Every structure is written in C-alpha cells, then in structure tokens.
Amino acid sequence: MPRESSRGRKVADLIQRELATLIQREVKDPRIGMVTINEAKVSRDLSFSDIYFTVLPSGNSDAVEEVLNQASGFLRSQLAKVLNTRTTPKLRFHYDNTVEYGARLSKAIDDAIADDVSHAAKNQPGEDA
C-alpha cells in the first residue's frame, strides 16, 4: 500500500480543520445537528477528498450525509479561498460509524464477561459449614 505524502497529509489536515469551521458557521440547514469531522483523506493527485463525519443525534445520519454532499460545491468554493493548491479537491462526505461500532463491540465484551462470571459462580460447589 503506498504511503501518504506529507503534503497530502497537510492538505487533508487543513481541509478537516476548515470544513469543521465552515459547516458550523456557514451551512444553515436545519437537518444538520452537531457535525464532527473525524478525518479527511486526500487522493494522491489532490483531485478528491473523502470526508468522514459523525453527527448528533445519530439517527439522521443519512439525511446529514445527503445535505453535506449537496453543499459540497459551496464548501469546496470556500475551501479554495484557503488552500494554496492549483485545484481544490472535490469533496465526498461519508458517515463514520466507528464510534457506534465500538460501543456495540464494548457492550458485547461486557456482556460476555458478565456471562462468564455468572457461569463460574453457578459451577462452584457449595460450601458446607
């Protein structure tokens, strides 16, 4: 797998920071709650940027993804004012479900440990006094 260039990483970091501010201040759609930009990845030729986000409340993530992808042209034009690149990457927004997945996995582990403890307690012979 090719390593990401330091320039690509710097551009991705700048895009992440700027988009977090732009979405909070400039996008005025009532369907958007509290959006957090978790990561930005930029293609090697800087033509595309995949933006991963989470949102509270998480129940409307599909609607928020649709709104952000529709607003990507506006956000891209605002980014162009900040980026010092020949072209500004096209933005593609994706909902990041790793937080929810991690919470489900953690709960499954806790449930398995609790099951093991209860089975161990049932299988111990009773002590007679």
- 9-32 per-position pLDDT tens digit: 999 999 999 999 999 998 888 888
**Is 127 inside a domain boundary?**
no
**Is 83 inside a domain boundary?**
yes
d(CA 43, CA 49): 6
Is the model's pLDDT at 1 over the cut of 60?
no
**Is 102 inside a domain boundary?**
no
Tell me the sheet residues that pair with 129.
none
Total domains in the chain come to 1
Three-state SS for 25? Answer: helix
**Is 48 inside a domain boundary?**
yes
Structural domain that includes position 64 = 6-97
Which has more confidence, 76 or 98? Answer: 76
Looking at residue 68, what is its pLDDT?
A: 94
Which has more confidence, 106 or 125? Answer: 106
Alpha-carbon dihedral angle through residues 106, 31, 20, 52, given to the nearest 10 degrees: 50
**Is 27 inside a domain boundary?**
yes
Instruction: Quickly state the pLDDT bin for 92 (edges 50, 70, 90).
Output: very high
Which has more confidence, 99 or 51? Answer: 51
Return the CATH number at 38.
3.30.300.20
